[in-house]
A = this chain, B = another copy of it.
Amino acid sequence: MSESTREHTHTARAFWSSLEARDWSGVERLLADEVVYEAPQTRERVRGRADYLRFNQEFPGEWHLRVERVVADDAGAATTVEALLDGEAMTAVTFFTFADDGRIATVTEFWPEPYPRPESRAHLSDLF
């Protein structure tokens, strides 16, 4: 594992643990000045460290986060996080890219929701 891979793994984990701890200065240190957050499902975009901090600080409701999975390489990282939002368990899937100094440059986040298995492929799988 290369040095930058190790650093990206560490930064992605630190991001989530700092958020969970509401350690806002800890979160701030991990973010590039010009960080951009995007949620493709809602088309939300937040530009810049101050606004992205505020997005997290003022995010409505009670929330708790637990990292499930981290994949990282020289260019980026991907995580899945188990989120409890107002008591409802959801999964956040997040892709990070990093600036040359190792800080987070982009955050692209998905919140996939449960839906019924389509009848048309019911013969192809079991349910767990």
Given contacts A54-B124, A124-B54, contact A72 B74 (CB under 8 A): no
A residues 11-52 near B (Cβ < 8 Å) are 37-47, 51
A122 to chain B: closest residue by CB? B44
- Protomer copies: 2
The residues of B that contact A87 with a CB separation of less than 8 Å are: none
The residues of B that contact A95 with a CB separation of less than 8 Å are: 69, 71, 78, 80
Would you list 16 pairs from A and B whose C-beta atoms are within 8 A, ordered by A residue? Answer: A42-B117, A43-B127, A43-B128, A54-B124, A55-B121, A58-B123, A59-B124, A60-B118, A61-B120, A71-B71, A71-B77, A73-B73, A91-B110, A93-B110, A111-B112, A113-B115
CB within 8 A of A43: which of B43, B78, B117, B118?
Answer: B117
Question: Is there contact, CB below 8 Å, between B43 and A1?
Answer: no
